[in-house]
Structure 1
Amino acid sequence: MTTEAVRVRGLRKRYGEVTAVDGLDLDISQGEVFGILGPNGAGKSTTVEILQGHRRRDGGDVSVLGEDPDKAGRDWQSRVGIVWQDESAAAELTVAETVRHFARYYPRPRDPDEVIALVGLDAKAGSRTKALSGGQRRRLDVALGVIGRPDLLLLDEPTTGFDPAARRQFWALIRSLADEGTTIILTTHYLEEAEALTDRLAVITGGKVVALGEPASLAGRAAARATVHWAEPDGTARSEETDTPTRAVAELSRRFDGEIPELRVTRPTLEDVYLRLIGQEDM
């Protein structure tokens, strides 16, 4: 039976006159990969910091792995892995030295060599951190986040600055961790990343959840009207919004007596839905 890894009700956090989180509710299941989307200043990082006990909330109820992060002790902390936006490894230590050093902080760490292999840094185990590429340093950060065998892994903008190839490799790593049963929460600005990795996601703006669901059906995306695109014989591009795209294509096929030039059928992308939710669809 699936149980809750995270339960949040009415979460609030203010910084002076600024409300960063304003009555936020979340339920995240054990073993789920959950994404949090939102513009800068939406409250994503503050929410993650509260979930891992780094920042105290001003109001609301929070349960993470069955405990209140504000009151949880070292046993609970060892069950939560964190990968911050900023790198945490010392520049002068080698990859192997860094991972082995962090392993000593946990009561039942994974084997450091196994973790180094898991993040794809076998060939760099003897290299100093300062000699690694940006993507390799990020992999080392993930190694430090998982060395303690966390039940929950929090990733805050994990692939910022990655090139496309490094980002795809990182996705494969996250999927392998999820396959092991780790609950993963990630914030990201990359909508393709959210769609590729998450089971469900929340869109936050103004410190509130404005949409919650699976990427394919978020905010009615799956049921949205389709747009059929084609080209007329003279090359003119045409399109038509419809609730019955199959019928529209069949009618075009009869009109063209077979193949329809430049035929495409599209529905709103996750980006389309996201920009509408945060009020920037016309920007």
Structure 2
Amino acid sequence: MNKKVNKKMNKLKKMIVIFGVLSLALTSLVGCASDKNSEKSKSSLDKETIVVGMELKYPPFETKNKKGDPEGASVMLAKAFGEFAGKEIEIVDVPYPSLITSLETGKIDMIISSMTITPAREERVDFSISYTTSQLMMLVYKDSKVQSVDDLNSSDVVIASKTGTIGALWAKENAPNAIIKNVNEEASAVLEVAQGKADVFIYDPLSVIRHHENYPDTTRTILEPLPNTKGWGVAVRKGESELVEKLNEFINKAKEDGTYDEIREKYLKDKMEEFEEYDIDFFF
């Protein structure tokens, strides 16, 4: 009788120990998840380092130097904001189509990547005021029938665009009858036009001019602004109103205190001269 009782007691003790271990493990997991959620929900201005995402493939705004370090007008702008806000700035290279998802999931705190403010994007993120007045223009295959924006919304027009960019979004919304060919790389979209496989590539004038200069024999430009959007803005997570206010204060100040002048002088001087040649107002 005593042996049976002892066996039952030993089994009960083992079960209690196992239950205790499992409870401890579960508590630890819940605690870790809580810490992560707390970190994710923490205001970016409460952090010592603000992580800025940008795709470093768009000189002279977002690119890398010979050492592989981030460089360009957007990088300089981000670092100037860090000085203004008293924060360290970390630049992270993120593929353009993944930028908003990375922001939403807390992998980055801000996007400064030549991102145009659009209603569709405003449903997912909050934007600062625009820090440029960007315009969409067209790189066109030399023999294409496209002569103006009025020719785009046609079933026999092929529009090449980089996935996730404002050019792709504009084409989808404004030329639904056209054939829209989305590709992951800007250079590939341009090549489609240069080789006559697409009629048009829609992008900002800086890129359109540069790509035409690379393919002068097979492309032409239509440098008339398409009816489009609000300019480039800094994107932050929904609800970061304090950060948006800080950014707006910085942008307004930077336009007056010489910060913009320094950025233009260092990275955009030759581009400004190109715009003058084409009689286009510079957008930064």
TM above 0.5, yes or no, is no
Which of the pair is proportionally richer in strand?
Answer: 1
Give the structure with the larger helix fraction: 2
TM-score, scaled relative to structure 1: 0.25
Tell me the TM-score normalised to structure 2 length.
0.25
Higher radius of gyration, 1 or 2: 2
